[in-house]
Amino acid sequence: MDKILKYFPDLTSKQIELFEQLQPLYAEWNAQINVISRKDFSEFYERHVLHSLAIAKFIRFNPGTKVLDVGTGGGFPGIPLAIMYPKVKFHLVDSIGKKIKVVNGVADSLRLLNVKAEKIRAEELKEEYDFVVSRAVTKLPEFVQWVEKNIARKKKMQYQTE
């Protein structure tokens, strides 16, 4: 957790509380459904949470922005970003139902009302989003083919850089 605070010192007390709850929640879920490698779990905040938040060092999503997280797995990067941006709408998708079960369990426990998780393949999605994020799902050309139809065409400023 110290590494999160090092890079994001302006977190609210609520955000800090939610980030602190992540590791115990994922430990509990991971004992039932393996979504995080056991050898990586000791580095949970660095390898999963901090990596998920890297985009937040460059882009700040405006309230009301719609973000799609493709191949979310256990909820990365979507869950940490939903904590970071409580007024942004996150749609986390994965084709594996047990992973979505974990995402829903974590989101419900944290009362993240800005998270919708769904078992669906990216190619089947019909909605449009302001941003699409992902972590190591496939090669970029293939990924673009899956999601380019889902990127909103309306040209409006949805983010601001630091």
pLDDT of residue 149: 84
Give the H or E element holding residue 30.
helix 13-32
* 61-95 b/e (C-beta count within 10 Å ≥ 16 → b): beeebbbbbbbbbbbbbbbbbbbbbeebbbbbbbe
Q: Which pLDDT tens digits describe the chain residue by residue (162 residues)?
A: 888 999 999 999 999 999 999 999 999 998 888 888 777 778 888 889 999 999 999 888 999 999 999 999 999 999 999 999 999 999 999 999 999 999 999 999 999 999 999 999 989 999 999 999 988 777 887 877 788 887 887 755 455 555
The backbone torsions φ and ψ at residue 41, rounded to the nearest 5 degrees and listed phi first, read -65, -30
Handedness of CA 40, 44, 54, 105 (dihedral sign): positive
pTM attached to this predicted model: 0.90
Give the H or E element holding residue 68.
strand 66-70
Question: Domain residues for 108?
Answer: 2-160
Domain count for the chain: 1
| CATH at residue 130 | 3.40.50.150
Quote the tokens at residue 52. Answer: 């998920």
Are 84 and 115 within 8 A, CB to CB? no
pLDDT of residue 138: 74
Calculate ∠ Cα 49-54-59, nearest 5°.
130
